[in-house]
């Protein structure tokens, strides 16, 4: 393992231990408290942060856009809209039907937005215009959600509002095995395509000249990224900024762009960001801070700093 990646892994380990032994009530080594409450939260932070980071990296490579991310391009919003629709419309169904229906709708929403963006990419839309399109998709999704909320019943509204705030604590102990299984299924395939991803990193034309099946790989990349985003959105609600800033922080930290090194670093930095948000919440239990509030405080300055360094970036 690269030395810098090893240092990131060490930090992740330190934060993992801290979150296991420290909570809102301070240091507590109670066995039941650790395994029933803190351990599930830590696992969700680990996998959700890592998945969002990798999906952001895939989007930046695929769209050749350094500002691409699940929240910026509206992919998370599309997933949220479809989940909201299912939550409002599935009254009376069994718990199993509701859970599997939400999983399917979350993935369908993410994939739908991806294909809208792909359509515009093939129309030679500029990078800035693509970002504006993503923001418009987010606005459309927010409007659709508002209409659904206004039509919902009190219980449906309460469930949705709790989910929509975004939290790494939404996953219950019975749901944890399903979350971990889906996370592994979405993460592992990425590491089998590092060679093709490296070629895509240069350009799609270069990848084609090297014999890569561009159309097939595009479907694979889109499916993997959409799957990752939909899993996090489904179980944790909309989580912002991790997907867009993790690849940038990884590149700045490594000063290299080879994906066999960049992928693990991006994943670990995504985990660190999720941990930092949770640590801020744990250290300030009386303030009721949300995950997205902490991530916004971290993410917004990082994006502004990147834009400042890229001042020559033209429309």
CATH number at residue 269: 1.10.3470.10
CB-CB contact of 36 with 173 (8 Å): yes
pLDDT tens, 186-233?
Answer: 998 888 878 778 777 777 777 777 777 777 777 788 888 888 988 898
What is the pLDDT at residue 124? 74
pLDDT exceeds 50 at position 239: yes
CB-CB contact of 77 with 141 (8 Å): yes
Residue 315 lies in a domain: no
pLDDT exceeds 60 at position 64: yes
What is the pLDDT at residue 13? 94
What is the pLDDT at residue 12? 94
Cα–Cα distance measured from residue 94 to residue 103, given in angstroms and rounded to the nearest whole number: 14
Domain coverage including residue 206: 3-309
Neighbour count for residue 102 (Cβ, 10 Å): 21
pLDDT tens, 125-184?
Answer: 777 788 888 889 888 988 888 887 777 776 666 667 777 778 888 888 888 998 999 999
pLDDT exceeds 50 at position 313: no
Mean pLDDT to the nearest integer, 29-42: 87
Residue 271 lies in a domain: yes
Mean pLDDT to the nearest integer, 64-72: 80
What is the pLDDT at residue 315? 42
Number of domains in the chain: 1
Residue 56 lies in a domain: yes
Mean pLDDT to the nearest integer, 255-280: 90
What is the pLDDT at residue 158? 67
pLDDT tens, 71-101?
Answer: 888 888 888 888 888 877 776 677 777 777 8
What is the pLDDT at residue 92? 67
What is the pLDDT at residue 156? 66
Residue 259 lies in a domain: yes
Q: What is the pTM of this model?
A: 0.86
Question: Of 202, 203, 82, 226, whose CA–CA distance to 141 is shortest?
Answer: 82
Residue 13 lies in a domain: yes
Residue 65 lies in a domain: yes
Residue 314 lies in a domain: no
Phi, psi of 145 (to 5 degrees): -65, -40
What is the pLDDT at residue 1? 61
CB-CB contact of 22 with 247 (8 Å): no
Cα–Cα distance measured from residue 266 to residue 57, given in angstroms and rounded to the nearest whole number: 8
Cα–Cα distance measured from residue 60 to residue 67, given in angstroms and rounded to the nearest whole number: 7
pLDDT exceeds 60 at position 314: no
Per-residue CA distances from 241 to 49, 238, 247, 289 (Å)? 10, 10, 11, 16
């Amino acid at each position: 393992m690269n030395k810098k990646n090893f240092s990131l892994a060490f930090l992740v380990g330190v934060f993992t231990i801290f979150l296991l032994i420290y909570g809102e009530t301070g240091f507590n080594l109670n066995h039941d408290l650790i395994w029933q409450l803190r351990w599930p939260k830590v696992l969700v932070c680990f996998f959700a942060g890592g998945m969002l980071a990798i999906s952001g990296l895939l989007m930046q490579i695929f769209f050749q856009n350094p500002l691409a991310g699940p929240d910026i391009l509206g992919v998370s919003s599309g997933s949220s809209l479809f989940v909201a629709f299912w939550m409002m419309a599935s009254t009376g169904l069994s718990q199993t039907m509701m859970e599997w229906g939400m999983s399917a709708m979350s993935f369908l929403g993410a994939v739908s937005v991806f294909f809208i963006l792909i359509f515009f990419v093939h129309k030679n839309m500029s990078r800035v215009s693509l970002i504006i399109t993503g923001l418009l998709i987010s606005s459309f999704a927010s409007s659709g959600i508002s209409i659904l909320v206004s039509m919902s019943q009190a219980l449906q509204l309460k469930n949705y509002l709790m989910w929509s705030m975004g939290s790494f604590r939404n996953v219950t102990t019975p749901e944890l095995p399903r979350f971990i299984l889906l996370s592994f299924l979405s993460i592992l395939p990425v590491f089998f395509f590092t060679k093709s991803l490296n070629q895509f990193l240069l350009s799609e034309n270069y990848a084609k000249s090297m014999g890569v099946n561009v159309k097939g790989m595009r479907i694979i990349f889109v499916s993997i990224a959409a799957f990752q985003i939909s899993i996090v959105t489904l179980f944790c609600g909309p989580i912002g900024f991790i997907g867009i800033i993790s690849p940038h922080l990884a590149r700045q930290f490594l000063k290299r762009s080879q994906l066999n090194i960049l992928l693990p670093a991006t994943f670990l930095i995504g985990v660190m960001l999720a941990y930092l948000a949770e640590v801020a919440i744990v250290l300030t239990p009386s303030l009721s801070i949300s995950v997205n509030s902490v991530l916004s405080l971290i993410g917004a300055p990082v994006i502004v700093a990147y834009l400042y360094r890229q001042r020559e970036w033209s429309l």
